[in-house]
Amino acid sequence: MLELASAAAALALSCAILTWSWPLGDWLGVIDHPDNGRKIHARATPLVGGIAITVPVLLWSVVSIYWPDLTGGTPVPLAVLICGAGAALIGFIDDRSTVSPLLRLLILMALTVAALAISPQLLPARFHWSLIGSTPVAPWLAYVLVAIGTTGFVNAVNMAEGHDGGVAGMFAIWSACIVWVGSGAADDVAFVLLVTSLAVLAFNLRGKVFLGGTGTYGTTFVFGLLVLYLHNSWGIAAETVMVWFFLPVVDCLRLLIQRPMQGHSPFKADRNHFHHRLHDRFGKLAGLAIYLGLVATTSFAVAFDADLAPACLGALAFAYLGLMILTASGARAAAPIKIAPRD
């Protein structure tokens, strides 16, 4: 009952923010304007979609801290509140005035380490695998791997936020999967993420709002914390997590390798992303359907049966490679343009 009440309150707040997105975005100074280059959206659009997800989640964290019965008394809400808010703030500042990519990465790593210190349950003592059982990991190595992994994951999702409905759709899919497989604090916050992500998705698909850095940094960082909690406390296999996050992470790694090979900075924005190539080859709606269809079918499959993870990883790799080859002729190379929120 409390879970439903908190989700209803979160949805109401999210819808209020989305309804008043223009005056809020104008007041905060986060309006994204088309530039007739990479930013090809039809009109100026407020970057408040992430605020409509992150603010309800942070308020849930505050309530959970003062009402610990909601989450079984775990310190996870405190890590979500402090470090999730920090990540969201970095994204918000970047929306207003571009922050150096290196500085963003360093701050995200620091926030990850802080979250591990606040909530020791987030630091893995063992990595759980569906096929080979579990393998121990030294604490110092766990800190390094989690800091790099979380930072890379946040950056990958930020780079994937370039087509309406893409990242918001993935947020909804991942939230639903966590609600299905999780329990306790992870399940509660995932339910809040689910209803607010669906609300943002409805507005984002119509071009009314964009997620902005607050969403791609703050919300994605929270997902990273939830997955760590699920892996450590509930034994969710590493292969399951790899399936959920496969597309944005693999595409990010490809671009970080390919851009320097083409003589560009790895942080230079372009339209060579997987989602851009699908859009240019198949059209906006069909490209989005292919992208989210791949994420949804494989993510839900491993959520229902973790033993399907190897097959799903193989299917995702095959589909990604095949679609990259199919869309190669229409891919546009990187251009020396300024980094913007929608990479």
pLDDT, averaged per 10 consecutive residues of the chain (343 residues), comes to 79 96 94 66 84 94 78 74 95 89 94 94 89 88 96 94 92 95 79 96 93 93 94 89 97 92 81 90 94 98 94 97 88 42 44
Q: Specify the pLDDT at position 41.
A: 52
Q: Specify the pLDDT at position 172.
A: 97
Q: Specify the pLDDT at position 39.
A: 56
Q: Specify the pLDDT at position 2.
A: 64
Residue 336's alpha-carbon distances to 141, 265, 269, 319, in angstroms, are: 37, 9, 8, 30
Count CB neighbours of 168 within 10 A. 30
Q: pTM for the complete prediction?
A: 0.91
- Give 258's contacts (C-beta < 8 A, 6+ positions apart): 272
| Mean pLDDT for the chain overall | 88
Alpha helices in 38-100 (DSSP H): 49-66, 76-79, 85-96
Helix (H) or strand (E) holding 231: helix 220-234
Which token pair is 273? Answer: 């992303």
d(CA 327, CA 343): 19
Q: Specify the pLDDT at position 50.
A: 94
Q: Specify the pLDDT at position 333.
A: 44
